Structure 1
Amino acid sequence: MTEAVLDLDAVTKRYPGAEGPVPVLSGVSLRVEAGETLALTGESGSGKSTLLHLAGGLDTADGGTVRLMGQDLAGLSDAARARLRGRHAGLVFQQFNLVPSLDVSANVALQARLSGRHDPALDVRLIGRLGLAGLERRFPEQLSGGQQQRVAIARALAARPDVILADEPTGNLDEATGDAVLDLLLELAAETGAALLMVTHSTRLAARLGRQLRLSRGRLDTDLPA
């Protein structure tokens, strides 16, 4: 068996509540191989976004182990987790986190430059494929929510990550644009050998990925039928 790009083993996570800690993840185990595409579904509050934050090292688990590219994230400092994430993970979350003082081109290139993987030709390709051509010199405040989301997706893909962690990447897009974005995510993942772990509420989009899993009350169900 090859080494997983992402490996969660018996992971637990709780958050403070008015009447004590509230369990969000209860012993979740998940292995994602290089090149694999996996959709994660589940009702609101089931822990999907929490799982992605743990997988990307943006938060730490209360129990169990999270490994990214074989590295145990619990054993790393915040700075070391950030370096590992920058080199290997492309993040697309519901908060776009674009830099207000940078235009579209600079935002797209930012992560790739930081990771030493900047490819201007890929930037141009991503900007065109995501319908952002002509907007390169605009700043985030001059863009719609859907346009900002597409910039965030381009930024994640531009660094050619080993694993793409995407939380509802088509959530603010119309169906046709959402389909085009997923086409691009799947195409770039296949081209670079990256894995894709995508949270989505759309069973239609989830069915296009290689595996579908469901989180329910903090526990991971077995694979859903294709």
Structure 2
Amino acid sequence: MLLSLSDVTKTYPEATAPVLRGVSMTLQAGEMLALTGESGSGKSTLLHLVGGLDSATSGVVAIDGTDLTPLDDAGRAALRRGTLGVIFQQFNLIPSLTVAGNIAFQARLAGCHDPDRTERLASRLGLGPHLDKYPEQLSGGQQQRVAIARTLAPQPRLVLADEPTGNLDEATADTVFDLLCELVSETGAALILVTHSQRLAARMPRQLHLASGQLT
């Protein structure tokens, strides 16, 4: 079991009701899951708890048998450098680094930078001719491909993708989605894809829906 959530709740001090209420789920190594739900249903909150970017109010979030709750910031950061990879809707590329530099960034932090792997990922994602360019010189679809390559370069065991195609037109979104799923599958990593697109979610092997803070 790669990921396990047991009776997880999340309440923010300013909120009148819990964002997550007794959420439980499991994810096996290599499994691919789409998480859907209306805006404000708690999808991103759930992903942030799994990614160690936030802490649950109660319950257990465990990755590879390790409970995230007692980990300090350094421990969670170490987890994100190695075991976890996160892809955001907003790309979050470093503007002062080239495409090649951005792709290598996460792997360098994890101490596992492989120039050959960086080059292979760039080629598979159609970024080979753009390695010396900077993010501002790329289209939105190209920037998201760089973000995917950066996340996959350290070969994480679990990839969390938060609306990775939300800022892209439908045709570009389909291309990016296909490449993401193909590359994740090849590495044997597990994937949780948060998406508002029922069309894309339907193409995933497993789907869960979040409504009123609970999974269905």
State if a TM-score over 0.5 links the two structures: yes
**Aligned to 1:124, what secondary structure does the other structure show?**
helix
The question of 1:109 aligning with 2:121 is answered: no
Match of 2:95 in 1: 100
- Spell out, residue by residue over 1:188-219, the C-alpha distance to the aligned partner (whole angstroms, 9 max, x if none): 22222100100111122112211000000110
Alignment of 1:141-156 (within 5 A): 141-156=136-151
Question: Please, what TM-score do these two structures have when normalized by structure 2?
Answer: 0.93
Match of 1:173 in 2: 168
- Spell out, residue by residue over 1:92-136, the C-alpha distance to the aligned partner (whole angstroms, 9 max, x if none): 012322222211111111111222332322222322332323221
Match of 1:224 in 2: none
Q: Which runs of 5+ in 2 are unaligned?
A: none
> 2 CA distance for matches of 1:142 and 1:8?
41
**Aligned to 1:187, what secondary structure does the other structure show?**
helix
Given the alignment, which residue of 61, 66, 90 partners 2:56? 61
Match of 2:5 in 1: 8
Does the 8 A contact of 1:149 with 1:172 survive in 2?
A: no
Given the alignment, which residue of 11, 16, 27 partners 2:22? 27
> 2 CA distance for matches of 1:178 and 1:145?
10
> 2 CA distance for matches of 1:71 and 1:127?
33
> 1 CA distance for matches of 2:195 and 2:117?
26
Given the alignment, which residue of 71, 77, 95 partners 1:76? 71
Q: Which stretch shifts more, 106-115 or 34-43?
A: 106-115
Q: Which stretch shifts more, 145-154 or 190-199?
A: 145-154
Does the 8 A contact of 2:160 with 2:193 survive in 1?
A: yes
Q: In angstroms, what is the RMSD of aligned CA positions?
A: 1.6
Distance 1:38 1:198, change over 3 A: same
Distance 1:22 1:148, change over 3 A: farther
- Spell out, residue by residue over 1:36-94, the C-alpha distance to the aligned partner (whole angstroms, 9 max, x if none): 00000010000001111110001111110111222111111100111012111110012
Tell me the CA shift for residue 174 of structure 1: 2.8
Q: How many residues align?
A: 216
Q: Which stretch shifts more, 183-192 or 147-156?
A: 183-192
